Amino acid sequence: MGMTIGEKILARACNKEEVKPGEIITAKVDLCMTNDATTHISIDIFQNKLKHKKIFDPNKIIFIVDHNIPSESVKTAEVQLKMRNFAEEQGVHFYEGDGVCHQIMLEDFVVPGQLIVAADSHTCSYGSIGAFGTGVGSTDFTSAMNTGEMWMMVPETIKFVLEGEFKPNVYARDLILKIIGDIGTNGANYKIMEFSGPAVEKLTIDDRIVLCNMAVEAGAKTALFEADEKAIQFVKGRGREEMYLFESDEDAHYEKVYHYNLADIEPMVAKPHFVDNWDLAANLGEVKIDQCFIGSCNNGRIEELRVAADILKGKKVSSSVKLLISPASKEIYLQAINEGLIDIFVECGALVMNPNCSVCWGGCQGVIGEGEVLLSTGTRNFKGRAGHADSFVYLASAATVAASAITGRITDPRR
């Protein structure tokens, strides 16, 4: 029996010829990343619980301040100072204010075939270029940072075969919301979601990041694309040459196989308070909104900003709506400036903020109050995710959010 991409990456990581689903392995990690949401917990464990206080390889450890930047409280400032001091003491990579952690990792570190652990659930984003990224808790992260290893069970793999092409104003964001809505938030629990099929070659790297990023919202351990020529060129274009290229064998075993024709996908919206509670944007025209957000590790890249700018150009945000926009990284922010996108956003009445997790996280920017409605390109819409426990978060694509910011109601961008 052959192996899937994910199984081959894990076999490489534990130095075995093959691994099988259900097998417990001890694997060597290639990179460890953590952000300011929980790093202080890992530092406390490292300093107070470990007998051998050492970092296995400082060059493979990345600390990123992105959740509450700039800090909104004394407590947050203290957490970030603890991170900064520890990073300086241990000689690990440290980023502050450069953007969302997963975007930084893709821009500066990740290569195909790696096993990467991070103290953040959306680490599965790295499968967009063929790397096995998975989120772990603070204890497991500290152990990996200390030993360079982690134990895990080899997951089963679910295949999603994609064919066809998106219609105008329909995007990868709509597809992943549809997939999660179809299989449910438990539909891929501790599984690998592998994306393949003839449509894949037409998907950009940004599209693939969108799909992999939200796989965890279906419970997935990670998500993966084969590292094709687009992925290879993305990595080489950023000065990284060494990579490990894997493809699934023809006789690889899949627990399930789903088929999606991109031409059948329409603009989707996830309704409160669950990501799988989906409906068509066209059906929600009566929902008034108070705030819109374009950004996050799922939809804050240059392609999404271009889509939003194309819709917003020459128009005005509704007087009843606040539109907040946060590019996913400093690099993307500068590109948006050079392309004139920021001018369009400011002129239409949007608030453009520094690159960070921002409204998606609901920690330091754009917090909403009781009864308020947010339409967001963020990753989650759980109760209280972006503010008051009795507020309401809807999730949609950058196109749907931009169109809705103009009308003041949830709006199908095709209309």
User: Which domains can be identified in the chain, with CATH numbers?
Assistant: 5-261 (3.30.499.10), 267-407 (3.30.499.10)
Q: Count other Cβ atoms within 10 Å, centred on residue 78.
A: 12
DSSP lists the bridge partners of residue 45 as none
Query: What band does 72 get if pLDDT is binned at 50, 70 and 90?
Result: confident
Q: What is the dihedral of CA 137, 205, 194, 39, to 10 degrees?
A: 0
pLDDT at position 4 over 90: yes
Query: What band does 30 get if pLDDT is binned at 50, 70 and 90?
Result: very high
Query: What band does 303 get if pLDDT is binned at 50, 70 and 90?
Result: very high
Q: Give pLDDT tens digits for 133-163.
A: 999 999 999 999 999 999 999 999 999 999 9
Q: Give pLDDT tens digits for 153-189.
A: 999 999 999 999 999 999 999 999 999 999 999 999 9
Q: Give pLDDT tens digits for 237-252.
A: 999 988 899 999 999 9
Which helix (H) or strand (E) segment holds residue 86: the answer is helix 74-90
Phi-psi region of 321 (alpha: psi -120 to 50; beta: other; left: phi over 0): beta
**Separation between Cα atoms, residue 222 and residue 110, nearest integer Å:** 15
Residue 225 tokens read as 């694309």
**Separation between Cα atoms, residue 380 and residue 401, nearest integer Å:** 15
**Separation between Cα atoms, residue 273 and residue 57, nearest integer Å:** 41
**In sequence order, what are the residues at sequence separation of 6 or more whose Cβ sits closer than 8 angstroms to the Cβ of residue 147?**
56
pLDDT of residue 68: 86
What would the mean pLDDT of 102-123 be, rounded to a whole number? 96
Please check whether residue 222 is in contact with residue 127, taking contact to mean a CB–CB distance below 8 angstroms.
yes
Q: Out of 46-50, 60-64, 114-118, 259-263, which region has the weakest mean confidence (pLDDT)?
A: 46-50
Q: Give pLDDT tens digits for 364-404.
A: 788 899 999 999 999 988 888 888 889 999 999 999 999 99
pLDDT of residue 384: 80
**In sequence order, what are the residues at sequence separation of 6 or more whose Cβ sits closer than 8 angstroms to the Cβ of residue 233?**
none
What's 387's DSSP letter? B
pLDDT of residue 387: 82
Please, where are the H alpha helices in 70-192? 74-90, 101-108, 138-147, 172-183
Q: What percent of the chain has pLDDT over 70?
A: 100
DSSP codes of every residue in 252-273: B--SEEEEEEGGG---EEEPTT
Closest CA relative to residue 20, chosen from 309, 249, 301, 223: 249
Phi-psi region of 220 (alpha: psi -120 to 50; beta: other; left: phi over 0): beta
Residue 6 tokens read as 């994910």
Closest CA relative to residue 64, chosen from 8, 105, 5: 105
Chain centroid to CA 239: how far?
A: 23
Place of tokens 């109760």: 383
